[in-house]
Amino acid sequence: MTTATLFGLCSSALVGLGLFGVIVDPHPLRKILAFNLLGSGVFLLFGVVARRGAAAGLGGDPVPQALVITGIVVAFAATALAVALVLRLFEPEAGNAVESEATSAGLEVDGGRS
């Protein structure tokens, strides 16, 4: 079995684990952790594809390698936004600090989530 195939299997295991964590874990921060695990699994598959495409004196195809770099940066941005949402939702002091100037009515979603 080649290095690429081995890491391909690793990638599939990580994707399964990460997806399971995102769906099942009740804690929002751990959902985000699991999402990062899932992302790592997907990125690893890019690495496998790149490694398989080794040619022209390169150890791997540079196109998927470059795509992963973009992907990792986007995943970080997603993590940062999700974490900010979680903190705003659950952190006691931040929660109290909410003063909504907009008490206009389009917002009455609360009671309506039947």
Residue type, 96: N
Cα separation, 76 vs 93, in Å, equals 26
Helix ranges (DSSP H) in 25-91 = 28-52, 62-90
Q: Which of residues 2-21 bind other proteins (CB under 8 A)?
A: 3-21
Q: How far is the CB of 41 from other proteins (least distance, A)?
A: 8
Q: Three-state DSSP class for 5?
A: helix
Nearest distance, CB of residue 89 and other proteins, angstroms: 5
Min separation Cβ 96 and other proteins, Å: 10
Q: Which two tokens stand for residue 1?
A: 């079995």
**Of 93, 68, 78, nearest in space to 34 by CA:** 78
C-alpha span between 33 and 21 (Å, rounded) = 8
Interface of this chain with other proteins, residues 85 to 114, rule: CB under 8 A = 85-92, 94-95, 97-102, 104-114
Q: How far is the CB of 113 from other proteins (least distance, A)?
A: 6
- Taking residues 31 to 50 in sequence order and writing x for each that binds other proteins by CB under 8 A, - otherwise, the string is xxxxxxxxxx-xxxxxxxxx
Binders in 47-76 for other proteins, by CB under 8 A: 47-76
